Chains A and B, each alone.
Chain A
Amino acid sequence: MAGTSIKNTLADVFAGIRMYLPETEPRVKEKHFTRAELRERYHKRLSLLPKKERRALQVKHYAAYAWPILRALIVIGLCFIILYPLIFMISTAFRTRADMNDPTILWIPKNFTFQNVRDVVRTMDYWNTFRTTTFLNIGCSIVQVLSCALTGYGFARFKFKGQKILFFIVILQILVPPQILTLPQFKFFRYFGPGGAINLINSPLTMYLPAISANGIRAGLFIFLFRQAFKGLPKELEDAAYLDGCSPLKTFVQVMIPNATSVFLTVFLFSIVWYWNDYYVSTTFFTNNATMALKLKNLAPSLEQIIFGGTVSASPRELIVWLEAGCLVAILPILILYVALQKYFTEGIARSGLTGM
């Protein structure tokens, strides 16, 4: 008795469940065609079409096969061209200088060595340089990102007199090459303050002052990016905050920044990269500063002093070994950063709505 009742209840439950499931179609076993049969059917159906349509279909058919192959070739080829300098760098950085003169060696060195890297690390005073560059970079980038974000927000969300003229200045910031401004800026830093009593040349302030006031390296571009990003955020966000009695600055800090973190990260990363690569500002205003780019630029002369003891004892061709090793250690931190955070480099720019100009 009990057994059947359980059986019945179970059946009821299953029926109930089945009611709510989508009805599955009764399975019809599909006819399995051989390749030859398929081809025959294809040609038969093709022959029924008018000639013009048949042509078009055939072209489409072949293109569908050919394009992925062609695409793969193009992509692989271009990737190779892009990676070529890096492959070359790795290949030369770990070979001895004698290998440079051996015409039988193209890619794989005969004598594998770490000596070049060790030499270069010693010449560039790598770890100290790395530390100063990193601190300077991160410091400048943080203040630059904040000031650019403030400016971009001001342009994106407020209407005031003279906005167009002010934004034209931002465009000017992007357009005017920095070389034009070198001398006046040099003068400004050299004779700083009232009466020009203070000499700021070779002080880190030459990097920090422009960064704090959103005028650092490529700041115009960053302001532009922030403006676009903030314009893309819904207005209701801030209106709600204003209704609750938030001041504009508090709204910006507490509502807008959390909603735009990916843009902040993108701009921050680009700022770090461009400060890392910069040697223009450092060579003009900050000469005794040991940044990575500067050390790399002066690598050849300082190699002569430190490794060869004041005499030139390597041909330009042999010098490549050290130069490439220097390049390798100089961009390695940036490359690692890029590989780890690649998403934010690319998608950040793509998503921040450059398109919505």
Chain B
Amino acid sequence: MRNPINSLKNMSYERRKGFYGYGFLILWFVGAILFLIIPIAESFYYSFFDVAPEVGYMKISPIMRADGTVNYFKNFTDAFGVDPYFRQLLVDALRNMAIKLPVIVVFSLFVAIVINQKFRGRTFARAIFFMPVIIATGPVYAIITGDLSTSGNSSAEQFSTMFEADMVDQLLEFIGIYGFGTQFTELLTTLTSDILNLVWNCGIQIIIFLSALQGIPVSAKEVGQIEGATGWEFFWKVTLPYVSPMILVNIVYTAIDSFIDPTNEVMARILAIQSDWRYGMASAMAWSYCGIVLIALGIIFAIMNKFIWYENE
């Protein structure tokens, strides 16, 4: 009979080390199976069935068509076709995300560049810029944003008057462009009235960009100086390539973070359905939302990957 401890000792050093690797992961692995993999599989399974809670167990019954065959996709079709809010909320959420993603990326890159420079009070400014990170995930944020809009001196409206959308229209009319579509002005109002949300949701992204900026090697900066690059050229030729991988990271992070945003209305709808005991429908909605966002991210990833410059290659 072979002694298991002996056989462990007879392994090559590399294999033995690999074996210890499993040892380090075992705790997490058990947790991941229990709290992640099984729940994912279950909720995926639920999304095809009619799920109703009974005493002591979940009653899972297939949804029948009139002719007696099983309709597995009833939940999905109902989510988009029958539910009065879901489709509209989803479209709104995706549109907002499409607008927000580039704005957040550009804005946080800009802020990161600014607070990476040396000036008096930089530590203080940094502390303030990151402060939303510790508050924005909780109910405090929901109360803050809710309160600000119910009280008269709503911040959002106050700020947006500075960039009144009508002014842009008037300006364009002055130049000679009439009726410049409501689309553009709408987009502009979404952005400006959302500036509070914008700066409050950029904390982590700014940190990520800041760390990327600090990772730019000194040699690259020196080459720029010796060659006499202007700040503008330096940005496009040195800064942007170096931070480009982090642009992708930030896009993914922003999209994922919006799932757990307490003000996310799609998620609120899903939770409402869930508390209405319609679990099958709720999981179908959650999966289609998650799936659409992940597919969109995948497309962005594939396109962006071509323009990203990796230093090690």
Binding site for B on A (CB under 8 A): 56, 60, 63, 68, 71-72, 74-75, 78-79, 81-85, 88-89, 92, 100, 103, 106, 147-148, 150-151, 153-155, 157-161, 163, 166, 169, 172-185, 187-188, 191, 196, 209-210, 212-215, 223, 248-249, 252, 273-274, 276-280, 293, 296-297, 316-317, 320, 323-324, 326-327, 330-331, 334-335, 338-339, 342, 345-346, 349-351, 353-357
Contact = CB atoms under 8 A, between A and B. Distances in A.
B140 A277 contact: yes
B19 A160 contact: yes
Contacts of B32: 169, 173, 213-215
B39 A188 contact: yes
A74 B114 contact: yes
Which A-B residue pairs are the 4 nearest by beta carbons?
A: A213-B31, A158-B21, A277-B138, A154-B24
A350 B217 CA distance: 15
A160 B80 CA distance: 44
B28 interface: yes
B130 A346 contact: yes
B39 A213 contact: no
Contacts of A159: 14, 17-18, 21
Nearest to A324: B147
21 contacts: A56-B230, A72-B119, A79-B125, A79-B128, A82-B129, A84-B196, A154-B28, A160-B21, A163-B21, A176-B40, A177-B260, A180-B286, A181-B35, A187-B58, A210-B35, A278-B138, A324-B147, A326-B143, A346-B207, A349-B208, A354-B208
Contacts, number: 266
A85 B156 CA distance: 11
A177 B286 contact: yes
B159 A81 contact: yes
A296 to B, nearest CB: 5
A356 B117 CA distance: 22
A184 B43 CA distance: 7
Contacts of A280: 260
A345 B130 contact: yes
A176 B40 CA distance: 9
B31 to A, nearest CB: 2
B88 to A, nearest CB: 19
B23 A248 contact: yes
B37 interface: yes
Given A88-B155, A280-B260, A357-B249, A177 B134 contact: no
A274 B43 CA distance: 25
Contact of B31 (A172, A176, A214, A324): A214
Contacts of A78: 111, 129, 199
Contacts of A161: 18
Contacts of A180: 39-40, 43, 283, 286-287, 290
A184 B39 contact: yes
Nearest to B16: A248
B128 A82 contact: yes
A185 B35 contact: yes
Contacts of A150: 24-25, 27-28
Contact of A214 (B28, B139, B208): B28
Interface in B184-214: 195-196, 199-200, 204, 207-208, 210-212, 214
Given A75-B115, A248-B17, A176 B36 contact: yes
Contacts of B204: 349
Given A78-B199, A88-B155, A355-B246, A158 B31 contact: no
A357 B138 contact: no
Contacts of A188: 34-35, 38-39
A323 B195 CA distance: 23
Contacts of B31: 147, 209-210, 212-215
A213 to B, nearest CB: 2
B239 interface: no
A248 B36 contact: no
A181 to B, nearest CB: 4
